[in-house]
Structure 1
Amino acid sequence: MDRFVPYGPSHWVLMVLIVVGAVVLVVLGRRNRDPRTEVVFTRTFAVVVVAFNVAMLVYRFLPAHWNIGESLPLQLCDLAWIVGAVALWTHRPLAHALLYYWGLTLTPQAMITPALDAPDFPSPDFIEFWGQHLLVIWAAAYLTWGVGLRPNWRGYWFAAAVTVGWVAAMLVFNSWAGTNYGFVSRKPNNPSLLDVMGGWPWYLVVGLVLGLVAWALLTWPWTRTSRGAVRA
Structure 2
Amino acid sequence: MLVEPLLAERTFTPYGPSHWVLMGLIVVGSVALAVLGHHWGRTAAARWFARGFALAMLAFLVPMLVYRHLPAQWDVEVSLPLHLCDLAWMTAVYALWTRSQWAYALTYYWGLTLTPQAMITPALDAPDFPHLDFIDFWAQHLVVVWAAAFLTWGMDMRPEWRDYWRSVAVTFAWGVVVLVFNESAGTNYGFLNSKPENPSLLDLMGGWPWYLGVEIVVGMAAWALVTWPWTRQRVQGMAKPC
Q: Secondary structure at the match of 2:193?
A: coil
Aligned 8 A contact 2:116 2:145 in 1: yes
* Unaligned segments of structure 1, at least 5 residues: 228-232
Using the aligned pairs only, state the percent identity: 63
Amino acid at match of 1:65: Q
Structure 2 distance, partners of 1:53, 1:203, is: 31
Aligned 8 A contact 2:42 2:155 in 1: no
- 1:69 pairs, out of 77, 87, 103, with 77
Structure 2 distance, partners of 1:171, 1:93, is: 27
Residue 15, structure 1, aligned to residue 15, structure 2: no
Residues paired across the two proteins, number: 227
Structure 2 distance, partners of 1:190, 1:25, is: 31
Q: Deviations over 1:4-48 (max 9, x none)?
A: 000000000000011001111011000013622111100000111
- 1:46 pairs, out of 32, 46, 54, with 54
| Cross-structure match for 1:168 | 176
Aligned 8 A contact 2:41 2:154 in 1: no
Shift of 1:195: 0.4
- Aligned CA RMSD, in angstroms, stands at 0.9
| Cross-structure match for 2:44 | 36
Residue 90, structure 1, aligned to residue 90, structure 2: no
Residue 209, structure 1, aligned to residue 221, structure 2: no
Structure 1 distance, partners of 2:44, 2:82, is: 35
Runs of 4+ in 1 over 4 A off after TM superposition: none
For normalisation by structure 2, the TM-score amounts to 0.92
For normalisation by structure 1, the TM-score amounts to 0.96
| Cross-structure match for 1:230 | none
Aligned 8 A contact 2:96 2:147 in 1: yes
Amino acid at match of 1:109: Q
